[in-house]
Every structure is written in C-alpha cells, then in structure tokens.
Amino acid sequence: MANTWGYGAMTNSFGDMQNSKAIIIFGANPAVNHPVGFGHILKAKERNSAALIVVDPVFTKTAAKADYFCRIRPGTDIAFMYGMLHLIFKHGLEDKSFIDDRVYGMDLVRAEAKKWTPKKVEDVTGVKASLLIQITNVYAKSHPGTLLWAMGLTQHTIGSSNTRIAPILQLSLGNMGEAGGGCNILRGHDNVQGATDMCCLSHTLPGYYGLSDGSWKYFAKSWGVDYSWLKGRFKAKEWMNNKGFTLARWWAGVLDGKNGNDKIHNGGVNVKTLFVMGNGITSTAQQAKVKEGLDNLELLVLCDPFVNEAAVLTDKQDDIYILPTATQFESSGSVTATNRSAQWRNRVVKPLYEAKTDHDIMFEMSKRLGFFKEFTAAMKMKLKKDTFIFPEDATDEIARIIKTIGLTGWTSKRLKEHSKNWHMFDEISGRGYGKMKGQYYGLPWPVWTESHPGSPLLYDIHRSVKDGGMGFRNRFGLEHDGVDLLAGKTSAPKDSKVKGGYPEITAANIEKVLKIKLTPAEKKAIGKNWKVDTSNIIANKCMEAGVAPYGNAKARANVWTFPDKIPMHREPIHSPRQDLTKIYPTYPDKPNHFRVDTQYISKQTEKDWSKEFPINLITGRLVNLNGAGMENRASKYLAALSPEMFCRINPDLAGQHGIADGDMMWILSPEGTKIKVRAHYSYTVTADRLFIPFHFAGHFQGKDLSSKYPKGTKPYAVGESANTVTNYGYDIMTQLPETKGGLCQVKKA
Ligand SMILES: Nc1nc2c(c(=O)[nH]1)N[C@H]1C(S)=C(S)[C@@H](COP(=O)(O)OP(=O)(O)OC[C@H]3O[C@@H](n4cnc5c(=O)[nH]c(N)nc54)[C@H](O)[C@@H]3O)O[C@H]1N2
Ligand SMILES: Nc1nc2c(c(=O)[nH]1)N[C@H]1C(S)=C(S)[C@@H](COP(=O)(O)OP(=O)(O)OC[C@H]3O[C@@H](n4cnc5c(=O)[nH]c(N)nc54)[C@H](O)[C@@H]3O)O[C@H]1N2
Ligand SMILES: [Mo]
C-alpha cells in the first residue's frame, strides 16, 4: 500500500524562495523536516531581508528563526487566513486586476472575510489581534510573498479546505505565477510526489485521470490490454469506477462494522489480505483499531528492508510474511521531487542477500497471479518485441501516456541527461548552462513535448508556454451560473497567438482556437482532446501558437462541487472550545466515504470531550527520525539522539499533575486508549497543549512488545506510538486522519 499523505506540489521551488520578499509558513517546520531546503529560506532572509512569518501552535526550530511567530490554536488556520483577507480587503491591499482577470468566486470570499474581524480571529485562533494586523501589513505589502505549508494544514477534518484557503490568500495578493511567490507545499517522503503523480491512491488512475469509462479505455489502449480484460478483474463493472479504501481506514474494511466500528460498503465482503509495500503501519492514526484490523486479517504481507513493526504490533500468529525488500540504493529509476522535477537515480549496489527490489516482487507476484503478460505489455510496446528493459521502458511508458500533468517530455534519456549534468543548472531559477541551456533542472512538469524545457513556476504568464509559461487550467467548463470561467483579457501567457482566456484544446476546437488548418492526415491521427492525444499533435500545435494545451481559465475560489463552496472554519471533532463547536460545527456525517461510513457531527456532539480531555494533542516530527521510525531507530547513532519516546510538556501543566521533568507519564485519549512516555519539560508548548513525536513503536498501551521482534531485529530505540492516542477524525474530501487536531489528558505514571 503506497503512501501519499497530504496533497499538491510546489508551484515554485525551494531555490525560487530566494526571490521572495516575505515568507509565511503555515503548519510546517522545515528547519527540522526540510533542513536542506530551509537554507534557501535563510538566504532570502539574508539577501532580501525577507520577513519570515511562522504560524504554528508550537514554538518550533523554524519559529526560532522567524521575525514573527503566531502561536495559533490547532485547526483554526481558516479563521486566521480570513482574518488576513479581512484586512487585505478592508485596506485595499488586494491585487484587483489579477483577481478580475484570473480568479472566479472571490466575491464569496470577500463576503466571508468581512465577518472575520481581528478581535473575532483572536478569540478563535488565540493569536493577538495586534499581531495579526502587523503580520498582514508586512506580508501584503511585500511583493512577491511565498506561502508554505505542510502537515500542520492537512492533517485535519478541514485539511482540504485549508489547502484551498491558502491559495486563495495568495490569489488575492497576485502572488501566484510569480517568481518568489506561489504556494509551496513541502512534500514528505523521498518520491512522495512521484507516488502521488502515479496515483498510488484509491480514487484515480495514474496521472490523476479520473475513474471513468473514458479513462479506463484510454489506459487499456495505452497499456496494450483489452478493456474487457481490465473489466474482468473486477467483481462487476460498477466497481471499476468506485473509490477504494484508503491507507487511513483499510482496517475498517477488515472489521466490517463489527464491535461498533463504522459500517462499510464493499459488495458484502470484508478485506481479508493486507499487502504492504513501504509503509510503517504504526504511522497510521488510531493504532488500537489498526491492531484490531491486523489481528483479524487472513493474510499479512510486509515488503520491507526492515522488520515492519506491524508484525510486532499484531497478535496474529500465522500467515504473516515479511519479504526482504531492497532499498533505493539497490535499485534505479526516476523519482520526483517536491517541486515537480525529476531525477534519475542510479543503483549503488546489487540487492544484498536474498532481498528483491519492489518491482521484482511485483513482477513475481503478477506471474503467480497469472497476469505478468498484461502487467508488462505496455513496456514491450517500445521495442515491439516480447521483452523490455526496466526501469527505462517503464519511464518511457509514463512519458507516452500521462498528458494531464504533462509528462510527455520525461523520457528516460532526458532524465538521465539532467541528473548527469545537475551541476549545469542555476540554483535559484533552475535554468541550464552550456549544453543544458534552455532547459530547467529536472524538467519540472508540465513538460508538454519531448523538447519542452519544463515549467519551473506554475501559472506564470510572464514567460511563453514554450519556456514554461501557462495560465490556470480550464477544467470545469466555460461558465458557471452565467459567469465566464475563462481568464480575462490581460492573462494570456507571453507570446501567445491567442489573446485572453481560452478553453482546453480538443480535436473539435483546435482549428478554431489556434486559427490553424489541420491536414487530413493530422485529423486522422489526432486524439479526442489534449489528455488522450498520444499523437502529440495537440501539444505540438499548441507550442507553436504559444498556447497551453489545458486552456487558460480562472482559478476557482468557489468550488461549487464541494461541501463548502468556499473554505469555512469548522471546529475539530474533538475541540477544546465547546462554545465554538456550536457556532462552527463540523460536517454532517458522511456515508460511504471511501467505502466507510464516517462520523463528523455525531462524534463531535457525542459528548463534551473537552471536560475529560482538555489538552490539545499535537503530533509531529524530529530531525533524527523519519516516519514510523524503524529505519532510523535501527541506526545506533540516530537512535541515541532520542533513545526513548517522550512528550514535550509545559512545566505549568506538568506541575498541576505532579509530573516532574523526566518522570514517566500517561497520555489518555478520548479513544479510551493510553500511552506511557517520558515527560520532557519544554516552553515550546503552552500549558493547554502537548507535543509528541510519532516515530516510535514497539510498546503498546504500557506494554513492552520487545520479545515479539524476530531475533536480532529489535531496533535500538522502541517506545509507544503517538498514533495509539490520536483521535477519531478524517478529512472530508481525502480521508486524511486528524492527527493534528485531537484532545488528551495527562496523568503521572
Ligand atoms: N526529520 C524528518 N524529516 C521529515 C520527515 C520525518 O519524519 N523526519 N517526514 C517527511 C514527511 S513524510 C513529511 S509529510 C514532511 C512533514 O513536514 P512538516 O509538516 O513540517 O511536519 P510536522 O512536524 O508533522 O508538522 C509541522 C508543524 O505543524 C504544526 N501544526 C500542527 N497543527 C497545526 C495547525 O492546526 N495549524 C498550524 N498552522 N500548524 C500546525 C506542528 O506544530 C508542526 O510544527 O516532513 C518530511 N521530512
Ligand atoms: N500522528 C501522526 N501520524 C502521522 C503523521 C503525523 O504527522 N502525525 N504523518 C503522516 C505522514 S505525512 C506520513 S508520510 C506517514 C509516514 O509513515 P510511513 O510511511 O510509515 O513512514 P516510513 O517510516 O518512512 O515507512 C516506510 C516503511 O518503508 C520501508 N522502506 C524503506 N525503503 C523501502 C523500499 O525501498 N521499499 C519498500 N518496500 N519499503 C521500504 C521502511 O523500512 C518503513 O518500514 O506518517 C503519517 N502518520
Ligand atoms: Mo508525509
């Protein structure tokens, strides 16, 4: 099961932040989690005197470098950003022509922002009105400003709304499509951007093609397999276009509504097998439920270079297989970075001992399950022989098929050339020198054609499409409720033959929009639209006309298909402010959310959770450990930096509970679960909140599971998983767990 927490990609890049005049960070701690990238932020501070504003419930190492620190209450960023928008509109600091030409629905935002006075924002977020006014002034008046976010915005029931309000703020100031501006979403894992782009997800096909008959047919053709064969892999046709379970809630699929768990919609059967490829499992919220899910599986397969601690957590005795898997150093291929650029990675050593690479495991599995031929058919199309070369032919298959995000130019040959010449590019602009001149490092997508240079800044109309320019994508029709959705007069990218906005390019409209004539041969070869045109005629003609194949439309501030058309503040399910849950209640319950009935309002109103559990629980990261932590806790030197699981607790709170610095303490959760951890006194947190890292496993609710590791595999550090006490709660669109918005109580152990 792949792992793609959070969403989005950087519109710009780390290097480009050196062009910023102001930097605002919401819910990210790059000094710890992106320490190399953070160097660029520090350079912007030194060279441009860029103001650094950090909005975080915890005083982090990033906050320590900030000019302004806003200690926000968890889950209230929407209120905070509306507060900024309130002041921006009130004082006329918005970019009016940008909004007029390039944004749809800002009027709704303006009306909502009007309600969020600094005083009201102070009450909801805990950030002083004077500080809000000060930072808004600095940020709105320093153009260009860049906005960064990461997991502090996404791991909430309103995470998807958070990821909309942030771009809205940037749009209001005309900070999109500008060097030094943009929304820079700091991605997580090595190649998590690539995993997202390939849609190792349960609700899309690769390249974000939707689950529709049209997409399946396009893929069947491109993969060289029969559509009817693909259809035959499903129980019935309807399941082809049905979202699957997510990583967050596969366990609900196993438990099938038993013991009071949420009901599932899975055709009358429950999940029986879990096949894990590169996830720690102890990194998932609600570990007691995860354990119950693991215990009830028929088969558990863990492909991992280490002993995946799912095997330690479960009481299941049989039918658990750990397949020794090779690491990145033992394999090669392309990976995608946080700024949409690719790198070619070379193998360092052959797989050690009996380890196999991930792809070899998949090939072997497909052989035994009887579909190796179909699985590899697309890779054989290039050589037109019954053979293929891995991974080159896989990369070229991706380049051939994925048009949506413009991967046509990502051929293995070009990617290798870029990685080999990585020193021939500028660190700020990404522009190449010498023989790499005219290209951008790693060909950040979209790379519309095989000779396109890549697009270092998304939505940048100051450069031509041929040089990486583009407007916003036309994706949702030409008008909505009578309002034109295409961009306005001054919005066409530089050198465009077509002025103003234009629709996405199809076989039907290409002649009219580009004012060209296709030859009969071209008419025969052209695909229906730019997304499925493997002839590349649409892309090539568009490049000649300086037109982005995906159109030039307005960005949508109003997303009429979502539960909240514009982002709305809604209190976390487990909120310390019961008074505010009445004014800003969570969503209605959502049946069949990725196949699982999901509770919102019924959970929020079940009782006043804050009476018993008054403390905000914040989970996050440490610099020496990663994710579920097994890889690093198995390193003697990294483990030594944090040898045991701990909690950062304010001495005032600790004092109230008789907990001395260094004492063992319990953290109790509304889930009825608890963990035993070491208290570390810290003023980085206030007395109403705790910070715990989520990188530990090997203890469960006070019990040491050390004896369950296979001989010789116990890591140097084990401890309680933070996720044993994270609370119920899932994002309304993506089902990401609310691991940054829960409640807890503390007790001396
Ligand atoms: N050393 C190290 N580096 C890593 C990783 C690692 O495990 N270790 N993991 C990688 C991965 S997978 C990812 S996704 C990235 C994640 O990178 P980050 O998102 O930076 O990671 P976190 O520390 O989880 O969370 C960031 C901050 O969000 C704050 N926060 C919590 N709730 C809220 C809120 O409601 N509002 C706001 N404004 N802030 C909030 C937390 O206090 C925390 O400081 O890091 C990557 N880099
Ligand atoms: N409470 C709380 N929970 C969180 C978060 C949080 O902030 N708070 N953050 C969430 C986020 S953003 C993320 S991304 C997840 C991260 O959580 P995980 O995805 O569980 O993170 P990792 O520990 O990196 O797990 C990767 C597993 O893959 C194995 N591995 C490494 N290389 C390879 C390889 O080449 N092939 C295979 N097959 N396996 C390999 C490792 O040994 C490890 O067991 O945690 C999430 N959980
Ligand atoms: Mo992540």
Q: How far is the CA of 741 from the centre of ligand 1 (A)?
A: 13
Tell me which residue of 539, 345, 344 sits closest to 446, measured CA to CA.
539
Q: Confidence class of residue 223 from pLDDT cuts 50, 70 and 90? A: very high
Please give the C-alpha separations between residue 238 and each of 227, 232, 242, 267, in angstroms, as whole numbers.
14, 11, 7, 10
Indicate whether residue 620 lines ligand 1 (CB < 6 A): yes
| Amino acid 549: pLDDT | 97
pLDDT 10s digits, 404-441: 999 999 999 999 999 999 999 999 999 999 999 999 99
Helix and strand numbers (H, E) in the chain are: 28, 27
Residue 455 has pLDDT above 90, yes or no: yes
| Closest ligand relative to 187 C-alpha | 1
Q: What's the average model confidence in pLDDT over 342-355?
A: 96
Indicate whether residue 15 lines ligand 2 (CB < 6 A): no
Asked if residue 380 lies in contact with residue 386, where contact means CB atoms within 8 angstroms, the answer is yes
Indicate whether residue 328 lines ligand 2 (CB < 6 A): yes
What are φ and ψ of residue 363, in 5° steps?
A: -60, -45
Q: How far apart are CA 552 and CA 617, in angstroms?
A: 43
Residue 2 has pLDDT above 80, yes or no: no
- Angle between the N-to-C axes of helices 392-401 and 372-383, in degrees from 0 to 180, rounded to the nearest 10: 80
700's tokens: 């469960």
**pTM, entire model:** 0.97
Residue labelled with tokens 């530089």: 494
Asked if residue 302 lies in contact with residue 277, where contact means CB atoms within 8 angstroms, the answer is no
CB atoms within 10 A of CB 335: 21
Which CATH superfamily, name and number, covers 15-188?
Dimethylsulfoxide Reductase, domain 2 (3.40.228.10)
What are φ and ψ of residue 78, in 5° steps?
A: -65, -45
Tell me which residue of 322, 294, 315, 347 sits closest to 630, measured CA to CA.
322
204's tokens: 């899309």
Q: For ligand 2, atom 31, which residue shows the shortest CA distance?
A: 278
Please give the C-alpha separations between residue 1 and each of 180, 201, 297, in angstroms, as whole numbers.
36, 9, 15
Residue 747 has pLDDT above 90, yes or no: yes
pLDDT 10s digits, 541-554: 999 999 999 999 99
Q: Confidence class of residue 70 from pLDDT cuts 50, 70 and 90? A: very high
pLDDT 10s digits, 484-526: 999 999 899 999 999 999 999 999 999 999 999 999 999 999 9
Q: How far is the CA of 693 from the centre of ligand 1 (A)?
A: 10
pLDDT 10s digits, 162-186: 999 999 999 999 999 999 999 999 9
Q: How far is the CA of 192 from the centre of ligand 2 (A)?
A: 10
CA 673 to chain CA mean position, Å: 28
| Amino acid 322: pLDDT | 94
Given the CA of residue 28, which atom of ligand 1 is nearest to it? Answer: 20
Q: How far is the CA of 34 from the centre of ligand 1 (A)?
A: 10
Q: How far is the CA of 4 from the centre of ligand 1 (A)?
A: 14
Indicate whether residue 55 lines ligand 1 (CB < 6 A): yes
Indicate whether residue 154 lines ligand 2 (CB < 6 A): no
pLDDT 10s digits, 50-63: 999 999 999 999 99
Q: How far apart are CA 613 and CA 726, in angstroms?
A: 12
Given the CA of residue 276, which atom of ligand 2 is nearest to it? Answer: 38
Angle at alpha carbon of residue 126, lines to 125 and 130, rounded to 5°: 105
Q: How far apart are CA 313 and CA 251, in angstroms?
A: 14
pLDDT 10s digits, 698-729: 999 999 999 999 999 999 999 999 999 999 99
Given the CA of residue 156, which atom of ligand 1 is nearest to it? Answer: 35
The pLDDT mean for the chain works out to 96
Residue 365 has pLDDT above 90, yes or no: yes
Q: How far apart are CA 455 and CA 292, in angstroms?
A: 46
pLDDT 10s digits, 623-637: 999 999 999 999 999
Q: Give strand ranges (E) for 278-389.
A: 299-304, 320-324, 333-336, 342-345
Asked if residue 42 lies in contact with residue 65, where contact means CB atoms within 8 angstroms, the answer is yes
Q: How far apart are CA 284 and CA 694, in angstroms?
A: 10
CB atoms within 10 A of CB 479: 11
| Amino acid 1: pLDDT | 28
Given the CA of residue 150, which atom of ligand 1 is nearest to it? Answer: 19
| Closest ligand relative to 189 C-alpha | 1
Indicate whether residue 309 lines ligand 2 (CB < 6 A): no
Domain borders along the chain are 15-188, 609-748
| Amino acid 319: pLDDT | 97
Give the end-to-end CA distance of the chain in Å, rounded to a whole number: 37
pLDDT 10s digits, 648-706: 999 999 999 999 999 999 999 999 999 999 999 999 999 999 999 999 999 999 999 99
Asked if residue 399 lies in contact with residue 408, where contact means CB atoms within 8 angstroms, the answer is yes
Tell me which residue of 460, 456, 452 sits closest to 441, measured CA to CA.
456
Q: How far is the CA of 149 from the centre of ligand 1 (A)?
A: 9
Residue 7 has pLDDT above 80, yes or no: no
Residue 201 has pLDDT above 60, yes or no: yes
| Amino acid 63: pLDDT | 98
What are φ and ψ of residue 710, in 5° steps?
A: -55, 150
CATH classification code of 609-748: 2.40.40.20
Residue 9 has pLDDT above 90, yes or no: no
Q: Confidence class of residue 263 from pLDDT cuts 50, 70 and 90? A: very high
